[in-house]
Amino acid sequence: MSSPLAAKRIVLGVTGSIAAYKVADWVRSLKRDGATVTVIMSKGGARFVTPLTFAALSGNHVHDDMFSMSMAEQIPHIELAKQCDLLLVAPASADAIARLAQGLADDLLSTVALATEAPIMLCPAMNSKMFMHPATQTNLARLAEFGYRIIKPDVGAMACGDDGPGRLPEWHVARHAILSIFARQDLTGRSVLVTAGPTWEPLDPVRFLSNRSSGKMGYAVAAAASQRGASVTLISGPTTLHAPPGVNTIQITTAQEMYDETISRAEGIDVVVKAAAVSDFRPDTQADQKLKKATAKAGTLTLHANPDILQTLGQRKGKCHYPLLVGFAAESEDHLNEGRRKLREKNLDLMVVNDITGVDCGFGVDTNRVTLLDYNDATEELPLLSKEETAHRIWDRVARLLDSQ
Ligand code: PMT
């Protein structure tokens, strides 16, 4: 399935940190995303993981010598600098950071860093005391001034036994930062509120009514907006997903809680995208104690309607600065007419209609096939895409709507 990183040429500088072993897995992930990865290893890096490991994972020659003429008799640092959409230095050791900050050029990595016009991203990873040392902090500040993107290391237990800042960030954090470099920055300055996931409507302390939403679609919408420069708030029902980096994520459980959080935050927001599968109903009564088979007769369950969050937002449109509204319609039949009906009834600007009966779209899966409907009844049918790509296609359309406001 397509990824925004497909065909991107990434030159990966691996330097002397024990975290080099984790970066081997990053290469596999980048390859799965369809990127090409060419690795440069510093002498220190090669002491932690062999070049053979990275050659096998990347499928490309690993460069460790500035004067090796192994690139078809070209000058490696110039060729690598040209064949590069991103220079990623991970892990970035204290020594590599110092060398880059001083503009040294006596090894392949530092020379490529001077010669390339591509963005450069550093993932510092080292002992906490080394990371916090004024020399390292000064070097990082200097590189930030040069326009280098620096991903803050994680805080936690280090291989050396210390505890503090200096751990290599998780891959999903690094991947989000990489995607942000390549994403069109057409939502800079915009504020966005996204809802995602299911809601749980309690029956008793153990049981609840819910649905099969995993949150993947909504989280992809929030992550894509953040990558494109927006300030993003995500209101999420219960999921097992990582909160997207750089997104203000608010966890809720019930439809009423999602209503309260969404309505209280919507005013002044530029765009609201409601990808959440909000329970339309909740049990009329919520038992304080677990219902016992003996007492709870297998009778009927009385349901009470939950507030329709999107309908409420639609009714308030036109008053003061109210957001552009994007809804999702989870349909199993008569998709487009149902989508049009909901768009009109809820006074939306865009409706994303998805067929939840398809094996590869809707609830729980990593892909979706949606049709975008707008208030002029313009219809845009998207092919089967990853939810990540679907999210970007939705933002492409929303960005055009924002520009036409
Ligand atoms: O989370 P995933 O596993 O990735 O699955 C994605 C998805 C299928 C959940 C998602 O693509 C989707 O379709 N979300 C909307 C599901 C839904 O509730 O659709 P609906 O047709 O029942 O509701 C229409 C719109 O009204 C939705 O934007 C919904 O958020 C909103 N709504 C519904 C009920 C309610 N009480 N308040 C609402 O705001």
How far apart CA 345 and CA 325 sit, in angstroms, is 12
Q: What is the mean pLDDT of residues 306-325?
A: 86
Q: What is the mean pLDDT of residues 290-304?
A: 80
Residue of 12, 13, 16, 14 lying closest to 126 (CA atoms): 16
Concatenated DSSP letters for 78-122? HHHHHS-SEEEEEEE-HHHHHHHHTT--SSHHHHHHHH--S-EEE
How far apart CA 40 and CA 77 sit, in angstroms, is 10
Domain boundaries, the chain: 9-182, 191-404
Q: Ligand 1, atom 5: nearest CA belongs to which residue?
A: 363
* Cis peptide leading into residue 91 (ω within 30°): yes
Q: Do 191-404 and 9-182 have the same topology in CATH?
A: yes
Examine the pLDDT at 73 and tell me if it is beyond 60: no
Q: 319: CA distance to ligand 1 center in Å?
A: 25
Examine the pLDDT at 163 and tell me if it is beyond 90: no
What is the model's pLDDT at position 199?
A: 98
Mean pLDDT across the chain, nearest whole number?
92
Instruction: Tell me the pLDDT band of 157, cut-offs 50, 70 and 90.
Output: confident
What is the model's pLDDT at position 66?
A: 58
Which atom of ligand 1 is nearest to 215's Cα? 1
Which atom of ligand 1 is nearest to 326's Cα? 28
What is the model's pLDDT at position 259?
A: 98
Q: 45: CA distance to ligand 1 center in Å?
A: 48
| 337 within 8 A of 351, measured Cβ to Cβ | no
Q: Which of 199, 201, 209, 213 to mutate to test the pocket of ligand 1 (most atoms within 8 A of CB)?
A: 213
Q: Which residue has the tokens 């349909």?
A: 331
CA atoms within 13 A on the CB side of 142: 13
Token pair for residue 205? 């302390």
- Look at strands 367-368 and 385-386 and give their pairing: antiparallel
Q: 52: CA distance to ligand 1 center in Å?
A: 48
pLDDT higher at 339 or 297: 339
Token pair for residue 370? 């949606």
Active-site residues, by number, are 160
How far apart CA 90 and CA 20 sit, in angstroms, is 7
Instruction: Tell me the pLDDT band of 83, cut-offs 50, 70 and 90.
Output: confident
pLDDT higher at 156 or 32: 32
State what percent of residues in the chain have pLDDT above 90. 80
Report which secondary-structure segment, H or E, holds 404: helix 387-404
Task: Find how far residue 196's CA is from the centre of its chain.
Answer: 13
Which atom of ligand 1 is nearest to 197's Cα? 1
Which atom of ligand 1 is nearest to 346's Cα? 26
Examine the pLDDT at 320 and tell me if it is beyond 60: no
What is the model's pLDDT at position 126?
A: 95
Instruction: Tell me the pLDDT band of 76, cut-offs 50, 70 and 90.
Output: low
Q: Ligand 1, atom 13: nearest CA belongs to which residue?
A: 330
What is the model's pLDDT at position 172?
A: 96
Examine the pLDDT at 69 and tell me if it is beyond 70: no
Q: 17: CA distance to ligand 1 center in Å?
A: 45
Q: 330: CA distance to ligand 1 center in Å?
A: 6
Which class is domain 191-404? alpha beta
What is the model's pLDDT at position 162?
A: 81
Q: Is 157 exposed, middle or buried (0-12, 13-18, 19+ CB in 10 A)?
A: exposed
Q: Which of 199, 274, 373 to mutate to test the pocket of ligand 1 (most atoms within 8 A of CB)?
A: 274
What is the model's pLDDT at position 267?
A: 86
How far apart CA 31 and CA 155 sit, in angstroms, is 28
Residue of 33, 158, 142 lying closest to 86 (CA atoms): 33
For domain 9-182, give the fold.
Rossmann fold (3.40.50)
| 200 within 8 A of 153, measured Cβ to Cβ | no
How far apart CA 196 and CA 215 sit, in angstroms, is 5
The sign one gets for the Cα dihedral 355, 360, 364, 366 is negative
What is the model's pLDDT at position 325?
A: 96
Examine the pLDDT at 74 and tell me if it is beyond 70: no
| 12 within 8 A of 83, measured Cβ to Cβ | no
Q: 196: CA distance to ligand 1 center in Å?
A: 8
Q: Which long-range contacts (CB under 8 A, 24 or more apart) does 367-372 make?
A: 367/1, 368/217, 370/394, 371/335, 371/336, 371/339, 372/397
| 28 within 8 A of 99, measured Cβ to Cβ | no
What is the model's pLDDT at position 301?
A: 86
Mind listing the pLDDT tens digit for each residue in 234-276? 999 999 999 999 999 999 999 999 999 999 999 889 999 999 9
Q: 206: CA distance to ligand 1 center in Å?
A: 24
Q: Which residue has the tokens 């949150």?
A: 215
Mind listing the pLDDT tens digit for each residue in 324-358? 999 999 998 999 999 999 999 999 999 999 988 88
Q: 274: CA distance to ligand 1 center in Å?
A: 7
Could you tell me which residues come within 8 angstroms of residue 149 by beta carbon, excluding any fewer than 6 positions away? Answer: 119, 120, 121, 122, 177, 181
List all residues whose CB is within 6 A of at least one atom of ligand 1: 197, 213-218, 255, 274-278, 280, 306, 308-310, 327-330, 342, 354, 356, 362-364
Q: What are the C-alpha distances in Å from 85 to residues 10, 13, 30, 40, 81? A: 6, 13, 13, 15, 9
What is the model's pLDDT at position 390?
A: 97
Examine the pLDDT at 380 and tell me if it is beyond 70: yes
Q: Ligand 1, atom 23: nearest CA belongs to which residue?
A: 329
How far apart CA 366 and CA 120 sit, in angstroms, is 30
What is the model's pLDDT at position 294?
A: 75
Q: Name which of 77-81, 93-97, 140-144 the model is least confident about.
A: 77-81
**Distance linking the first and last C-alpha atoms of the chain:** 34
How far apart CA 385 and CA 2 sit, in angstroms, is 7
| Residues paired with residue 10 on neighbouring β-strands, in sequence order | 37, 86
What is the model's pLDDT at position 356?
A: 87
CA angle 194, 198, 200 (to 5 degrees): 130
Instruction: Tell me the pLDDT band of 67, cut-offs 50, 70 and 90.
Output: low
Instruction: Tell me the pLDDT band of 394, cut-offs 50, 70 and 90.
Output: very high
Helix, coil or strand: residue 128: helix
What is the model's pLDDT at position 357?
A: 86
What is the model's pLDDT at position 361?
A: 92
Q: Name which of 38-52, 123-137, 150-164 the model is least confident about.
A: 150-164
Q: What is the mean pLDDT of residues 9-30?
A: 95
Backbone φ and ψ of 50, nearest 5°: -75, 150
pTM (2 d.p.): 0.93
| 397 within 8 A of 350, measured Cβ to Cβ | yes
